[in-house]
Structure 1
Amino acid sequence: MQIFREKEPLIQAIQKIKSEGKSVGLVPTMGALHEGHLSLVSNAAKDSDQVVVSIFVNPTQFNNQKDLEKYPRNLEKDLNLLKVELENIWVFTPDASELYGENILSENFDFEGLEAVMEGKFRNGHFNGVGTVVKRLFEIITPDKAYFGEKDFQQLQIVRKLTEKTGLPVEIVGCPILREDSGLARSSRNERLSSGNRKKAAFIYETLQNAKNLFGTNSADHVSQWVEDQFKNHPSLELEYFEIADSKTLKKITEKEKGNNYRAFIAVYADEIRLIDNIALDN
């Protein structure tokens, strides 16, 4: 394992292996690694000669300062997990000034409306922050492929739009959601849940599965109302939003159309911990 804290040595190392005809796969993370992240690393290792994992808690994508302060950080634990998963791995762990310089500010992007719905509606400026850090990582690491989990499906589509808009030659690979035995989508935030709420949060995926079944024979509005009613009756979980949207445009739908693919998206609070999930409705 090689650890890079500054970008210039990493750039030089990548230039060297690329001059040898080797490919680079990038897994961008904010640390607090879990099995979901390791599955991305495993996928990258199958496709790439050299895997780079970035560990950087990006301040510009947090609209809530308290959420940034509470975000779990344990670099030693993260590095130990990565060593077990893949011996020949490069880890990029810069500080904010290394990526942003003196002004830690987001660029402004036009993601053609992808950023204005769901997460973007409730987290002002979030996707400008995501776009900024991903663009800078792509420019520094110049990966051939970059791997993102489908749990953050809206983010995945926005990163795809980012590469289209900027012309950065990176193939974006979406990887399936990894779940706990209960069905709860694996997330760094799960570690902040009490044991009781972690069990209760399995209700989120259970509800998504039932919504998928309902969607086969019911309208999107009917399914949405049904989901809202389920959470009204749940004492420990608070629904922030549930939407059925076109998988490509992320626009909320009113009627199904043949040939289109749809996905259900959800955000829920368990105490003060915000959890997101989604499910494809077409398979």
Structure 2
Amino acid sequence: MYIIRDPKILYNKVKKIHKKNNTIALIPTMGNLHLGHIKLIEVGQKNADKVIVSIFVNPMQFKNLNDSKKYPRSLKEDFKKLKLNNVDIVFCPRLKKMYLNNFIDQIFVNIPSSYNILESKNRPYHFKGVMTIVSKLFNIISPEIACFGKKDFQQLFFIKKLVIQMNYNIQILGVPIVRDNDGLALSSRNILLNSKERKIAPEIYKTIKWISKKINKNNLKNNNFLKKAYKNLVKHGFKIDILTIRDSKTLNKKLTKKTSSIIILCSAWIGKVRLIDNLEMLLKN
């Protein structure tokens, strides 16, 4: 397994891989790896000849630099896990190599204002940082495939649009959420939960599953069950940012007769940790 910290060195390594007609799957991460990341790697290995995992805590997708410094890091353990899972290359660049001149005159990739909804509305800085760093990784590595978890559903939605609109010749694979035994979606931030919060955290998934059982095409407009779900989460101690039902193909709030699948989205704070989860489902006629 190669550990590379310089984009130029990786660029040259990638050129040699492509010269041998080998395909590359990219797995972008911010480290502190868990079984969800391992699942992404497995999907990448099934669909490409070589797998490159990037580890970079991207400060531009946090509210400020102090927030990014609080993100859990476990680089040595990450390297061990990646080696055990036969990853070919780990790209772990230094900040100055990805953002020159300390962000002065930095060019960013923005999403259109028409998509200032959900996570974009709550964290307007976030997706500008995500789209910029993902574009940088795509430009350095030129992967044939890139794998992203479906837990970050809106992120996946935007990345698919990025690839189409910026003419990247990359196949984006969305990988299902990996959960703990009690249903909690695996996340690098889960390690920040104290024991009491960890016991409460699975209530998010229980609640969105309860919502899914209440849904059918006839009652989507009468969403009293959504209000009950909201109250239930508040009762358990959550501060809710998002709890909504959207068209999974458009993220539109307005559902029509043409809506064939929906996504139940939830973002909520428990203590100082922000958790996100979702459940996608087909609508029965």
TM-score by length of 1: 0.94
Residues 205 and 155 of structure 1: is their aligned pair in 2 closer, same or farther, counting only changes over 3 Å? Answer: same
Alignment correspondent of 2:242 = 241
Alignment correspondent of 1:100 = 99
Q: Tell me whether 258-267 or 133-142 shows the greater mean CA deviation.
A: 258-267
Alignment correspondent of 1:34 = 34
3-state SS of paired residue (1:117): coil
Task: Give the one of 225, 228, 233 matched to 1:226.
Answer: 228
User: Is the Cα contact below 8 Å between 1:106 and 1:128 reproduced in 2?
Assistant: no
Q: In the aligned structure 2, how far is the partner of 1:198 from the partner of 1:256?
A: 38
Q: In the aligned structure 1, how far is the partner of 2:194 from the partner of 2:20?
A: 49
> 1:233 Cα deviation (Å)?
2.1
> 1:99 Cα deviation (Å)?
1.3
3-state SS of paired residue (1:281): strand
Alignment correspondent of 1:113 = 114
Q: Tell me whether 15-24 or 141-150 shows the greater mean CA deviation.
A: 15-24
The letter of the residue matching 1:101 is L
Q: What pairs with 1:55-134 in structure 2 (closer than 5 Å)?
A: 55-86=55-86, 88-104=87-103, 105=106, 107-111=108-112, 113-114=114-115, 116-134=116-134
Q: In the aligned structure 2, how far is the partner of 1:270 from the partner of 1:67?
A: 17
Question: Sequence identity of aligned pairs in percent?
Answer: 37
Q: In the aligned structure 2, how far is the partner of 1:103 from the partner of 1:12?
A: 25
User: Is the Cα contact below 8 Å between 1:6 and 1:94 reproduced in 2?
Assistant: yes
3-state SS of paired residue (1:151): coil
- The Cα offsets for residues 62-101 of structure 1, whole Å up to 9 and x where unpaired, read as 0144431210111101101111112x52000001211121
> 1:169 Cα deviation (Å)?
0.9
Alignment correspondent of 1:251 = 252
Q: In the aligned structure 2, how far is the partner of 1:144 from the partner of 1:102?
A: 30
Q: What pairs with 1:258-269 in structure 2 (closer than 5 Å)?
A: 258-269=258-269
Alignment correspondent of 1:149 = 149
Alignment correspondent of 1:136 = 136
The letter of the residue matching 2:108 is E
Alignment correspondent of 1:184 = 184
> 1:106 Cα deviation (Å)?
5.6
Q: In the aligned structure 2, how far is the partner of 1:272 from the partner of 1:219?
A: 32
User: Is the Cα contact below 8 Å between 1:111 and 1:161 reproduced in 2?
Assistant: no
Q: In the aligned structure 2, how far is the partner of 1:91 from the partner of 1:282?
A: 37
- The Cα offsets for residues 222-268 of structure 1, whole Å up to 9 and x where unpaired, read as 2321221212322x322222011111221223x45244321010011
3-state SS of paired residue (1:227): helix
Q: In the aligned structure 2, how far is the partner of 1:263 from the partner of 1:202?
A: 18
Residues 106 and 155 of structure 1: is their aligned pair in 2 closer, same or farther, counting only changes over 3 Å? Answer: farther
Residues 42 and 108 of structure 1: is their aligned pair in 2 closer, same or farther, counting only changes over 3 Å? Answer: closer
Alignment correspondent of 1:174 = 174
User: Is the Cα contact below 8 Å between 2:4 and 2:92 reproduced in 1?
Assistant: yes
Q: In the aligned structure 2, how far is the partner of 1:168 from the partner of 1:103?
A: 27
Residues 118 and 259 of structure 1: is their aligned pair in 2 closer, same or farther, counting only changes over 3 Å? Answer: closer
How many residue pairs get aligned? The number is 279
> 1:210 Cα deviation (Å)?
0.3
Q: In the aligned structure 1, how far is the partner of 2:192 from the partner of 2:10?
A: 33
Q: Tell me whether 239-248 or 125-134 shows the greater mean CA deviation.
A: 239-248
Gaps of 5+ in 2: none
3-state SS of paired residue (2:282): coil
3-state SS of paired residue (1:228): helix
Q: In the aligned structure 1, how far is the partner of 2:187 from the partner of 2:99?
A: 26
The letter of the residue matching 1:180 is D
Q: RMSD between aligned alpha carbons?
A: 1.6
> 1:7 Cα deviation (Å)?
1.0
Q: In the aligned structure 2, how far is the partner of 1:23 from the partner of 1:12?
A: 15
TM-score by length of 2: 0.93
User: Is the Cα contact below 8 Å between 1:52 and 1:89 reproduced in 2?
Assistant: yes
